[in-house]
Amino acid sequence: MACRFSELVVDSRDPEALAAFWAEVLGYEVLCREEDGSVEIGPVLGFGGPAPTLVFAPVAEPAPGGARLHVDVSPTDRDQDAELQRLLALGATRADVGQSGTESWYVLADPEGNVFCLLRRRLDPL
């Protein structure tokens, strides 16, 4: 084994609010707040556990050219449509990135416009 995916850093205008959104989406908790305003969230086991952590780093404006990666999430305790409704209620919005409409996933955006996908397949919770 060469490397393991340990964390994803997301540029954020409001790291606290975006961390709160993603903590609710993923069932994570705040692990760390840094002096620079960064907020790290993750599973109870924290950094280095079986799932990666997310770090929301403060920036005045997102990097030019938009995001070069996105997060995929899978429901764990409900079907895809029920999870879609939960995510929309948390503040996610539907996003159009040129999909055909026949995909098995939904394309959404978090409250700061970062695109992510809700997959159909359910996974066991960690």
52 lies in the same domain as 90: no
Q: Are 66 and 58 in contact (CB under 8 A)?
A: no
Q: Which domain holds residue 35?
A: 1-59
Q: Which residues, 6 or more positions from 95, have their beta carbon under 8 angstroms from its beta carbon?
A: 107, 108, 109, 115
Q: Where is the domain boundary, 18, 35, 59? A: 59
The Cα–Cα gap between 91 and 73 comes to 15
Q: Where is the domain boundary, 59, 83, 109? A: 59
| Residue 91: DSSP 8-state | T
Q: What is the mean pLDDT of residues 89-106?
A: 93
Q: Which residues, 6 or more positions from 10, have their beta carbon under 8 angstroms from its beta carbon?
A: 18, 54, 55, 56, 57, 114
Q: What is the mean pLDDT of residues 6-27?
A: 94
Total number of domains constituting the chain:
2
Q: Where is the domain boundary, 59, 84, 105? A: 59
Most confident of 47-56, 62-71, 85-94: 85-94
Position 64 in a domain: no
Position 90 in a domain: yes
55 lies in the same domain as 97: no
pTM for this structure?
Answer: 0.82
Q: What is the per-residue pLDDT for 2?
A: 61
